[in-house]
Every structure is written in structure tokens, then in C-alpha cells.
């Protein structure tokens, strides 16, 4: 199988590419705005290019993918608030462009990264794919619109597709200064000998999923022989998550023995656009293409911290 990964020099993308190489023919398109050249696999075909570049469709056609995994995105909630126009352009217009280019190049499946942010502030958790979507920040709104853009662009083309609503992904190669979530930020601060900051009460919860589990979900869905876009409930939407709520305070406490840090964390006022609770039910992915998360938070924090500390 020929698999093209947009954003293949980024956090999730590079972890995916390094597993795919050797199993499939792999191509990467990344503009290196948030990805890193050192993440690129030497055996993967590659082009340095923005997905909004007018040359992008020709580059996709040049590689000729059987499947496209679309991970390139504007993934910072704070940046989506300060520059919502760019956020929309990359996440919505970019997704539409990727879908159209994939179909024109003869791909038969497109997997696109969405986010738990599409749900907004839930009344109860864990959330299923059919739960109400009410984003509370521009990033969540753009990711929800990107799901519709993907479906609209590929309707009637015969190209199968899915939008993967990732919960809070963490692991090696994450960039604490870019798309990094709280795990990456805490690890980077601790590895540098600085005291991490908890914004808000620390009781806000997230559903932390290790990047290796996310990679396994993508590969399982690439190899699935059925139709992803028509599976019930709620068609092409799939939660990729653990279904477990972990508070930021509990995360901090879990990191203490890993990093050998036992002093108090700093506390600061909560940030605009942050939801209080988040947890996603991923049973649909297990039922449709046989994936389930396997790495516990305790098991995943070790290799993540060691990567940041370069131990």
C-alpha cells in the first residue's frame, strides 16, 4: 500500500511514518512550520510544502497514494483564538484541498485528524460519537467544520473516509512549544529543571492517550477491509481515546516519581477556551476495526519524559 501522510514531520505524523516504513511505501508532505526536519524518515518520499500551496495537488498525484492520512493542521487552541482566520484556512480549507487532491490522485481512503475539541464543554462524560458538538474555541469549530468539508468533498467519489477525534495525545517527539498539550509542557519544564504551571484549579480533566496507541489505530483503520464512512453510529466519526478522565493534578502527581520532582507546582489563573472536563468513549473503533488503547498513563509517561530529558 502507498500511504501519504500530511504533517509527517510532526508529532503524530513522524511516529506514524516510522512505523509504516518497512510495511508500506510511505510519502510525507510537510511545510515544517511546526514539524521538524530531524523527524523525517530517510526512506520516505517527501516534499516540503504547505497543504494550501497551489502545487499541492500535483505533489499528491506525483506520489500516487492508495491512502492519505491527513495530520497537517493548526493545532494550538491559543493560536486559534489570536488568529482564527489562519486556523480556519489551514484546518477547513486545507482539509478540503487534501480530500480533493487525494480523490483526484486515485486514493481509495482518507483518514483525517479531528479532535475532542469538537464536543466543547460536555454535560457528562465519556462522550460518544453522536454526542452534541458545541465547540468553545475557534480550534474546535474549525475541526468540526473540517469534518464536514471532508465528507462534502468526498461524497459520491467512492473514496472511503473517516475523521478521527483524538483525545489528548502525548508521547515522544511532541513539541511543547507548538501543538504540545499539558503532558509535553510538564515534561519539558521538569526536564529543564523548571517548576511547571497548572492553570486553573487543576481539577479540569483530560483523556490522555499515548501516541503509540494512536499510531496503532491509524494502521488498523488503513488495513480495515470494510467501509469506515458508513459505520454506525454516526458514520465517519471515530473517537480515538482511552475513555478515562484524569485531572491535571493527578497527571502532575503521576509525573513526580518519573521526573523525581516533589516540590509544589505553580498555580495560575485558568486560560480562555479551556474546557473543564473531557473524556471520549472509543468503543466504536473497537467494534468496527478492532482497535483499543493498550498503554496506561503510567506506562506512557516514562518514555515520554525520557524523550524530553534525552535520557
Question: Distance between CA 184 and CA 170 in Å, rounded?
Answer: 7
Answer for the pair 117, 80: CB distance below 8 angstroms, yes or no.
Answer: no
Answer for the pair 89, 80: CB distance below 8 angstroms, yes or no.
Answer: no
Catalytic residues: 139
Q: 118 by DSSP, 3-state: which? A: helix
Nearest to 235 by CA among 193, 284, 274: 284
Question: Distance between CA 93 and CA 79 in Å, rounded?
Answer: 17
Cβ-based neighbours of 36, under 8 Å, separated by 6 or more: 9, 10, 14, 175
Cell 511543547, located at residue: 176
Omega into 126 within 30° of 0, i.e. cis?
Answer: yes
The torsion angles phi and psi of 171, rounded to 5 degrees, stand at 150, 180
Nearest to 39 by CA among 16, 19, 9, 11: 9
Nearest to 213 by CA among 129, 118, 296: 296
DSSP 90: I
| Total residues found in the chain within this entry | 311
Residue 226: count of CB within 10 angstroms of its CB: 10
Amino acid at each position: 500500500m502507498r500511504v501519504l501522510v500530511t504533517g509527517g514531520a510532526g508529532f503524530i505524523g513522524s511516529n506514524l511514518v516510522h512505523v509504516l516504513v518497512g510495511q508500506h511505501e510511505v510519502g510525507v508532505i510537510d511545510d515544517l512550520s511546526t514539524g521538524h526536519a530531524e523527524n523525517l524518515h530517510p526512506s520516505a518520499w517527501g516534499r516540503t510544502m504547505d497543504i494550501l500551496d497551489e502545487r499541492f495537488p500535483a505533489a499528491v498525484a506525483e506520489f500516487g497514494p492508495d491512502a492519505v492520512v491527513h495530520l497537517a493542521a493548526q493545532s494550538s487552541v491559543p493560536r486559534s483564538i489570536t488568529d482564527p482566520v489562519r486556523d480556519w484556512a489551514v484546518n477547513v480549507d486545507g482539509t478540503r484541498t487534501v480530500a480533493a487532491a487525494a480523490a483526484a490522485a486515485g486514493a481509495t481512503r482518507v483518514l483525517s485528524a479531528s479532535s475532542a475539541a469538537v464536543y466543547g464543554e460536555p454535560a457528562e462524560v465519556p462522550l460518544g460519537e453522536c454526542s452534541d458538538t458545541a465547540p468553545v474555541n475557534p480550534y474546535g469549530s474549525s475541526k468540526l467544520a473540517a469534518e464536514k468539508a471532508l465528507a462534502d468533498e468526498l461524497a459520491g467519489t467512492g473514496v472511503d473516509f473517516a475523521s478521527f477525534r483524538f483525545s489528548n495525545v502525548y508521547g515522544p517527539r511532541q513539541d511543547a512549544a507548538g501543538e504540545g498539550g499539558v503532558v509535553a509542557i510538564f515534561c519539558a519544564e521538569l526536564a529543564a529543571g523548571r517548576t511547571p504551571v497548572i492553570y486553573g484549579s487543576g481539577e479540569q480533566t483530560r483523556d490522555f492517550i499515548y501516541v503509540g496507541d494512536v499510531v496503532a489505530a491509524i494502521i488498523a483503520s488503513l488495513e480495515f477491509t470494510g467501509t469506515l464512512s458508513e459505520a454506525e453510529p454516526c458514520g465517519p466519526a471515530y473517537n480515538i481515546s482511552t475513555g478515562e478522565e484524569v485531572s491535571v493534578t493527578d497527571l502532575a502527581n503521576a509525573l513526580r516519581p518519573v521526573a523525581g520532582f516533589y516540590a509544589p507546582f505553580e498555580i495560575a489563573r485558568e486560560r480562555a477556551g479551556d474546557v473543564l472536563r473531557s473524556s471520549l468513549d472509543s468503543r466504536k473503533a473497537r467494534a468496527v476495526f478492532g482497535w483499543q488503547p493498550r498503554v496506561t498513563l503510567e506506562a506512557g509517561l516514562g518514555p515520554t519524559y525520557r524523550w524530553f530529558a534525552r535520557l
